[in-house]
Amino acid sequence: KNQVEQSPQSLIILEGKNCTLQCNYTVSPFSNLRWYKQDTGRGPVSLTIMTFSENTKSNGRYTATLDADTKQSSLHITASQLSDSASYICVVNSPSGTYKYIFGTGTRLKVLA
């Protein structure tokens, strides 16, 4: 069964610190991997999208990496801000016949002042 697993489930850091969130997937075949930010009670917002041939993508203080060989991705947040408090969701798109998105359950990040 295709799966996308994220770790840790939750994380608390102090404002200004860096953090790294992990995503492991078993989806095959693989088309692209996305990271979303979801504020509580709101729809997810796209942060990065990487195809299998890309191994890093940045969006401001957010940097995603991808290792398609080991099927691992990470999202690194630099110099965290209070507004980074949210859930971060890893999503894998598989083009195998039907275009489906497989979502991880997310990492809930809390940034404290």
Give me the residues that bind another protein (CB under 8 A), please. Answer: 31-32, 34, 41-46, 49-51, 89, 93, 95, 98-101, 103-106
Closest contact distance (angstroms) between CB of 84 and another protein is 19
| CB closer to another protein out of 65 and 104 | 104
| CB closer to another protein out of 69 and 113 | 69
Closest contact distance (angstroms) between CB of 78 and another protein is 22
| Residue carrying the six token digits 């990271």 | 35
DSSP state of 112: E
Contacts of 29 (CB under 8 A, 6+ apart): 94, 95, 96
Among residues 57, 67, 64, 111, which one has the least CA distance to residue 90?
A: 64
